[in-house]
Amino acid sequence: MAKETKTEALTAEEAAKQYTNSLVEKALKAEKVYATYTQEQVDKIVAAMALAGSEASLQLAKEAHEETGRGVIEDKDTKNHFATEYVYERIKNEKTVGIIGEDKVAGSIEIAAPLGVLAGIVPTTNPTSTTMFKILVALKTRNAIVFAFHPAAQKCSAHAAQILYDAAVKAGAPENIVQWIETPSIANTGALISNKGIASILATGGPGMVNAALKSGNPSMGVGAGNGAVYVDATANLERAVEDLLLSKRFDNGMICATENSAVVEAPIYKEWLAKMQEKGAYLVPKKDYKKFEDFVFNENHGVNGPVAGMSAKWICEQAGVTLPEGKDVLLFELDKKKIGEKLSSEKLSPLLSVYKAKDRKDGIDIVAALLDYQGAGHNCAIQIGSQADPFVAEYGDALNSSRVLVNQPDSVGGIGDVYTDALQASLTLGTGSWGKNSLSHNLSTGDLLNVKTVAKRRNRPQWVRLPEKTYYEKNAISYLQDETETMTRAIIVADPGMLQFGFVDTVLAQLSLRDEKAATSIYGTIKPDPTLGQTIEIARQMRDSKPDTVIAVGGGSALDAAKIARYIYEYSLDQEADFLDSYEKVSELFLELQQKFIDIRKRIVRFKHQTVTRLFCIPTTSGTGSEVTPYAVITDDFTHVKYPLTDYELTPQVAIVDPEFVMTVPKRTVALSGLDTLSHALESYVSVMASDFTRPWSMEAIRLVIENLEDSYNFDPKNPTLRGEQARENMHYAATLAGMAFSNAFLGINHSLAHKTGGEFGLPHGLAISIAMQHVIRYNGVAGNVKRSVYPRYEEYRAQRDYADIARALGLKGKDDAELVEALCARIDRLMHAVDVEPKLSANGVTKKAFDAAVDRLASLAYDDQCTPANPRQPYIEEMKQLLIDQF
């Protein structure tokens, strides 16, 4: 190819200046308008963008992976949720318009004003998450932003920007408040960052781009090279230290700049640490192969070669000509501390980890300091130590030139803030201070020019237990309707046709008639199995007509869930236009927001309305869902037939009446499937990452009750009753509520994620879909070694195999180790299923191979994206979800 002439270069440069200048001029006009917006207007726009980005999270993760070929789809999904959900949670209540602070004693007033037009540089490593993060923080502060995306990630970055921009304009933002260069080039990027209309540059990317931003003539807030090291103290919780490090190195294939690049391990635990790393999936590379990795991974300047960043260990080994043993995915290199500065001691942006042995704590500090001084000064370092109150934590932080000192947490997720610590701002741009030639030493916010050191300790937020205000139980508990002291003047009873046919609704009416304060009643008695959104709208319209102060739901999970959702829609409609309930489209739009997936229920973007007009009573007549005590409700889309689980504590009933008399005539098939659903609730809540000492006793007791009573409950004949049969039905009813209490607070896992999708796709009863997936999920979770655990701070080490084994022991099952006990538990469950005539296979329950093959890929993504997935102890990949589906067939 002929070389570009000087004249041609000047022409290209001039064209770039004209093009980018047109973008900046439009941005300046938009920002001038936006600078007049109120805090309320700004907050509405930011909330709309955060929700839009969160809803598109998985789609954008797939697009980023497809376009760049780097990283891990599921981890990119987590980063996208972080960039929207977590960032929004941290900034949503910040006051960024007008007076933001006042000290009357000093006589000072702080007034916020926008910077103007920002230039956003986005790397190929985080192409969608960084884009959404920068848009949120830019528009929260009333700035406009113009992006230059990495050429290798142009499409996915632009799509992320388009999604947020469309949401912003729809919420009232001026046009052109967010723009980007359509055709990426060095000339266009250079022209943008040097444009005099740019107020500041948000530079996230490689050293070359960051340096170019710093030399552009415009103010720049950038980041330096990351080459973080973790020091593993002899007092550390070794299991957690190893799992934190592996979680971090595996996360998006080690591509986040905060990821540990070196581990410095104190001598007394070095051998044990190294053994555990290998046991859990790391590979100790033979020294004879070091040169192959040096030559392939790094360039002559000791930087990572372009194609390597974010690639898997398997790919890197194949390209380097090294054989990687099966089951290994993190590469370890034992290096000499005297040779820090060699290629393998550099930043790696991949699942490679250099390892150094430290004689003692002082030696550990010296090694970490040398690594930072060589490459990565100011970025981050970490320590794994037994007690976070140990004075050495402060000594360690004080001794090192690092803006973030991360204590007892995985660096890749810890360094970006908010997930494992409240001490760091949620951010995807991490400053390195003067040590790294940066203007800020903290996670990008409204910062200043100070170098601020932050020692960030791992935190476990206080947990909670939330249940109905009152739970009445035992036979004839329905009589408490007479004595309930709260006002009850108008009641609506929501039930399925069987409740009317067999007199259960009459029983409720009889109790209401005995109250001193009589209540006018209306009845909606046509709830169908798997109720649809359309049916809940019908119920809400009846509520609009009857104006109840009490909603009484009688029936199985379908009736209880329908009542929860109808009550919510009704109360929500009271603040809307008069025709709200007459428009399916308007209610559907609300529903699409309500079913938004979240990682942490306390940080969800969409908040449910607090319901104050009515109180909800739930009276279960089947023993399975536990809906009477839970914040869950499952609703089916009228058109796609996909089941969506809604979760919010606003859906928790005020009163639960658990009366065994209501389940004595339940049909055998219902007993079997609802009982196995109960078992799944108890099992999943016991092994959940959110399980606690408060929830596990409920889970365990529910498991015991199901194992000991389901078969007898199934065989009970109400026409020929026996005491044992009656007791079994009663115990199963209590088991369902206990399991509901447990999973209300510990949540569920992928057994339900899979069942929600197979049930909706193939028309299977929920309990059957649950049963078919159950043993496969237990075996998937019940492993040890190289396991990727879900991200949740309280879940410090992977324990699902041990948890299942503890359940097996409590049931009196036998096995020589935890792995055998997991199999014994599966075998016991399998015997129970067959005892109640359940064959746990899709193919045995009417699903054809043709229908299954046509749906499996779509169902795998839907199941991964289900609300129940985040609390599963093992972080699933979409391909693993697909395999679990295949195993069920």
And the tokens for 65? 């992976």
And the tokens for 865? 């994206």
Q: Are 263 and 355 a contacting pair, CB within 8 Å? A: yes
Strands 520-524 and 550-555: unpaired
Instruction: Report the catalytic residues.
Output: 257
Q: What does the alpha-carbon distance between residue 434 and residue 415 come to, in Å, rounded to a whole number?
A: 18
Query: What 3-state class would DSSP assign to 444?
Result: coil
Dihedral sign, Cα of residue 439, residue 445, residue 451, residue 456: negative
Q: Which residues contact 683 (CB under 8 A, 6 or more apart)?
A: 699, 703, 751, 774, 778, 804, 807
Q: What does the alpha-carbon distance between residue 660 and residue 726 come to, in Å, rounded to a whole number?
A: 9
Per-residue pLDDT at 338: 95
Q: What does the alpha-carbon distance between residue 827 and residue 820 come to, in Å, rounded to a whole number?
A: 10
Per-residue pLDDT at 852: 97
Nearest to 643 by CA among 481, 462, 865, 489: 865
And the tokens for 108? 């000072």
**Terminal CA-CA length for the chain:** 56
Q: Which residue has the tokens 């369902």?
A: 736
Query: What 3-state class would DSSP assign to 495?
Result: strand
Q: What does the alpha-carbon distance between residue 719 and residue 730 come to, in Å, rounded to a whole number?
A: 17
| Residues written for the chain | 889
Per-residue pLDDT at 419: 80
The pair phi, psi for residue 166, each rounded to 5°, is: -60, -40
Query: What 3-state class would DSSP assign to 330?
Result: strand
Domains of the chain: residue spans and CATH: 12-222 (3.40.605.10), 229-421 (3.40.309.10), 467-662 (3.40.50.1970), 668-888 (1.20.1090.10)
H or E element: which one contains 178? Answer: strand 178-180
Q: Which residues contact 81 (CB under 8 A, 6 or more apart)?
A: 54, 57, 597, 598, 599
Q: What does the alpha-carbon distance between residue 579 and residue 572 come to, in Å, rounded to a whole number?
A: 13
Q: Are 629 and 651 a contacting pair, CB within 8 Å? A: no
DSSP 83: I
Question: Beta strands of 641-730 (E only): which ranges?
Answer: 643-647, 655-658
Q: What does the alpha-carbon distance between residue 633 and residue 646 come to, in Å, rounded to a whole number?
A: 5
Question: Beta strands of 474-613 (E only): which ranges?
Answer: 490-495, 520-524, 550-555
Per-residue pLDDT at 813: 97
Q: What does the alpha-carbon distance between residue 732 and residue 84 come to, in Å, rounded to a whole number?
A: 42
Nearest to 378 by CA among 434, 425, 339: 434
- Predicted TM-score (pTM) of the model is 0.78
Q: Tell the burial category of 433 from Cβ atoms under 10 Å away from its Cβ (0-12, 13-18, 19+).
A: buried
Q: What CA–CA distances, in Å, run from 239 to 254, 269, 796? A: 20, 12, 8
Q: What does the alpha-carbon distance between residue 285 and residue 503 come to, in Å, rounded to a whole number?
A: 72
Which residue type occupies 537? I
pLDDT beneath 50, residues of the chain = 1-2, 445-454
DSSP 339: G
Q: What does the alpha-carbon distance between residue 712 and residue 733 come to, in Å, rounded to a whole number?
A: 13
Per-residue pLDDT at 448: 33
* Residue 333, strand partner residues: 354
Per-residue pLDDT at 578: 87
Per-residue pLDDT at 388: 93
What is the distance of C-alpha 19 from the center of its chain? 40
